[in-house]
Amino acid sequence: MGWTSMSIVANAIFTAVALQAIVRVSSTEPLKHGFDEDDGVRALKQGDEHAHEVHCSRERSRAAWKIIEEYLMPFVEREKYEISRSCRLHPDSDLFRDQEQHKIHVDFSEWRCGYCKKSFISEKYLDQHFDSRHYNLLNFSQGKCLADLCGALHCDHVINSKSLGSRCNPAAAARNHHLCENLADSCFPIKQGPSASRLHELFLHQFCDAHSCSREAKPFSRGRMKQPSVLYWALSVLTLMLLPLFYIIVYLHQSEIRKDTQELKRIPRLGKKIKPS
């Protein structure tokens, strides 16, 4: 009786472990391959990177957003200026903004979908997953593509710095300069006030001046203003908390040393006094 019940329990445990292993394998499958069967079928059907006929590059849109975030937004925030929705630099103009915000970078080799929590080994596979599974979440309301601003915003400078040595095309430079100035005019209209005109000027220096073959002007001449990260704040708070503790320890140590030397000074004096008598 005891043996049979034990064997039943053992059987149940074995089955549970086996089942768990199967579940684990199937759940890590997307991690291994990056995309599931349907995605693979889609890739075959489409045969190109522009799935569902979205004629807007995700990679270039991402580069454009990164540039806006690093080289423009800190200045805009410092001026407490609000970019209007009609400006093409507004987050609403980015088709992929919502999806990009739903990327969870767990660690070096794990990216998770913020909508359905599926995991992938690289950002590329997560992008493919977004293209096939969360296509309905793309923001088509504005009908704009942020990647279209790449010429003005110097995306190539960020994507591949190697190609920068290529010869300058005067026509392309003029076209980009024109696009760049249009952005400055529509996003930061001078008549809107002092902060808008300051940002207008900054935008021209930061992005537009470099669209020229004659001069050696480099993009982002005004530099970047990096937002302090969470780690930075955590370290700062920790330092502020530990600093008084450090001083207390040093103070106690010093006073201990002082006490010891006083004791040491006193002992030989006593010894000297005792000897002659």
Which chain residues interact with Zn ion by CB under 5 A? 113, 115-116
* DSSP, residue by residue, 67-131: HHHHHTHHHHHHTT----TTSTTSGGG-TTHHHHHTEEEEETTEEEETTT--EESSHHHHHHHHH
- Shortest reach from residue 118's CB to Zn ion, in Å: 5
- Shortest reach from residue 64's CB to Zn ion, in Å: 24
Q: Which is nearer to Zn ion, 102 or 178 (CB)?
A: 102
Q: Which is nearer to Zn ion, 16 or 106 (CB)?
A: 106
Q: Which is nearer to Zn ion, 103 or 222 (CB)?
A: 103
Q: Which is nearer to Zn ion, 67 or 126 (CB)?
A: 126
- Shortest reach from residue 97's CB to Zn ion, in Å: 16
Q: Which is nearer to Zn ion, 106 or 164 (CB)?
A: 106
Query: How far from 58 is each of 66, 140, 153, 161, 167, CA to CA, in Å?
Result: 12, 14, 15, 19, 26
- Shortest reach from residue 115's CB to Zn ion, in Å: 4
Could you tell me which residues come within 8 angstroms of residue 2 by beta carbon, excluding any fewer than 6 positions away? Answer: none
Q: Which is nearer to Zn ion, 88 or 118 (CB)?
A: 118
Tokens 């001078």 sit on residue:
190
Contact 63, 155 (CB under 8 A): yes
CB atoms within 10 A of CB 215: 9
Q: Which of 191, 190, 218, 194 shows the shortest CA–CA distance to 206?
A: 218
Contact 57, 64 (CB under 8 A): no
Distance CA 116, CA 99 (A): 12
Q: Which is nearer to Zn ion, 67 or 113 (CB)?
A: 113
- Shortest reach from residue 105's CB to Zn ion, in Å: 15
Is 4 in a helix, a strand, or coil?
A: helix
- Shortest reach from residue 125's CB to Zn ion, in Å: 11
Q: What is the 3-state secondary structure (H, E, C) of 121-155?
A: CCHHHHHHHHHHHCHHHCCCCCCCCHHHHHHHHCH
- Shortest reach from residue 134's CB to Zn ion, in Å: 6
CA dihedral 197, 198, 204, 209 (to 10 degrees): 130
